[in-house]
């Protein structure tokens, strides 16, 4: 059973210390949320990769709708899809420090210097993000970074909503 591995939401903060929450508990707690949020919760907090197909497809659909609504001039559907995948991936996957691989310490047990003992890795550079979606670094910096911030903000909202829902449904808070 996978332990909760939350990057954004602090699901273990409630009650007495750490508790294991099973995927079934998360699925049951989140059943009334929208399908998008529900699948996102399963992928991020129970590490269930079997939902990837439906989650990424639904997310592309939502981001295409956003592109139409906000009139993203000249953005090709292909670029929009890759952008949707990139931002979602950044939101659901915890990046580990390359030096300690998330262990937070070196082989002597001292805090890893590279990540200052957090275990977390660095985000992709702007250049790498631009390459991932197939546009120029310049275009990412001038236009797409703001779209990314907006979309990431929505995923932050998902995190808070899921956190609140799980605390209420599972811990009765």
Contact status: 99 vs Zn ion (CB under 5 A): yes
CB nearer Zn ion, residue 82 or residue 99: 99
**Is 56:85 a contact under the CB 8 Å cutoff?**
yes
- Do 9 and 160 meet the contact criterion of CB atoms below 8 Å apart? yes
Name which position in 100, 130, 135, 166 contacts Zn ion (CB under 5 A): 100
d(CA 95, CA 108): 23
Q: Determine which helix (DSSP H) or strand (DSSP E) holds 26, and give its type and residue range.
A: helix 23-29
**Residue count, binding to Zn ion (CB under 5 A):** 6
Q: Is 96 in the site for Zn ion (CB under 5 A)?
A: no
Q: Is 122 in the site for Zn ion (CB under 5 A)?
A: no
> Per rule CB under 5 A, is residue 66 in the interface with Zn ion?
no
Residues 6+ apart with CB under 8 A from 103: 112, 119
**Distance separating alpha carbons of residues 31 and 26, to the nearest angstrom:** 8
Does residue number 130 form part of the binding site for Zn ion (CB under 5 A)? Answer: no
Beta bridge partners of 96: 120
Q: Does 63 contact Zn ion by CB under 5 A?
A: no
8-state DSSP, 19: -
Give the start-end residues of each E strand in the chain.
Answer: none
Per CB under 5 A, the list member of 9, 37, 97, 133 interacting with Zn ion is: 97
Q: Give 63 or 112: the residue with its C-beta nearer to Zn ion.
A: 112
Would you say 164 and 170 are in contact if contact means Cβ atoms under 8 Å apart?
no
Stretch that binds Zn ion, among 9-17, 20-28, 40-48, 89-97 (CB under 5 A): 89-97
11 binds Zn ion (CB under 5 A): no
Considering only residues 102 through 121, tell me which ones interact with Zn ion, judged by CB under 5 A.
Answer: 112, 114-115
Nearer Cβ to Zn ion (39/112)? 112
Chain residues binding Zn ion by CB under 5 A are: 97, 99-100, 112, 114-115
């Amino acid at each position: 059973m996978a332990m909760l591995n939350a990057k954004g939401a602090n699901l273990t903060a409630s009650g007495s210390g750490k508790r294991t929450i099973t995927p079934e508990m998360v699925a049951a707690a989140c059943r009334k949320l929208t399908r998008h949020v529900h699948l996102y919760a399963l992928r991020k907090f129970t590490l269930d990769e079997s939902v990837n197909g439906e989650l990424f497809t639904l997310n592309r659909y939502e981001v295409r709708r956003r592109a139409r609504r906000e009139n993203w001039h000249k953005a090709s559907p292909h670029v929009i899809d890759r952008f949707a995948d990139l931002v979602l991936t950044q939101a659901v996957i915890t990046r580990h420090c390359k030096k300690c691989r998330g262990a937070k310490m070196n082989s002597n047990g001292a805090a890893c210097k590279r990540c200052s003992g957090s275990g977390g890795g660095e985000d992709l550079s702007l250049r790498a993000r631009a390459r991932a979606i197939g546009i120029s670094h310049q275009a990412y910096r001038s236009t797409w970074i703001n779209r990314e911030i907006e979309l990431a903000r929505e995923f932050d909202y998902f995190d808070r909503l899921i956190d609140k829902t799980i605390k209420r449904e599972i811990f009765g808070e």
